[in-house]
Amino acid sequence: MFGSAKHPERPVEHPRPRGDSDALVEAVGKISAAFEVVENARGMLYQFHRMSGMADLQLQDGLEMLRKAGHPELADEIDEVLVGRDVVRDMWTFQIVENYDDGYYSTFQAVDAKVREQLSDGKPHVWEAEMKRNEQGGGAG
């Protein structure tokens, strides 16, 4: 009905470079896994950027509606303190995203690539490829 999850006939997708120890393969895998977390954080940062922008536009729509509903003074007061306000000191969200991308993210990305290039022949996910092979019944890669 479901078919077998085991596929011992499959080769390892990304075989480890000759002579690499289990410890080295695992270390490279941990660094790549850390970068994957950074990728997730980056996505959340972009989500924060988009959601903050959407909230600002909805606020402006609401303020315009408040004015039309006969409360221009309150709308103007809120407009003065909130519309266009920096999200953090001296920055809008696009600046936060740009600083993250240009600094931490790009450095981490380069480090991950350097580690893979120098220690795994540039291959990603060597550790996971071996895990797949082992879990599907192929034994050690």
pLDDT of residue 103: 97
pLDDT at 104: 98
pTM of the model: 0.80
Q: pLDDT tens digits, residue range 65-85?
A: 999 999 999 999 999 999 999
Which are the contacts of 50, defined by CB distance < 8 A and separation ≥ 6? none
Please choose, from the candidates 2, 4, 33, 62, the residue with its C-alpha nearest in 3D space to the C-alpha of residue 124.
Answer: 33
pLDDT at 136: 87
**pLDDT above 70 (res 140):** no
The mean pLDDT value for 112-116 works out to 95
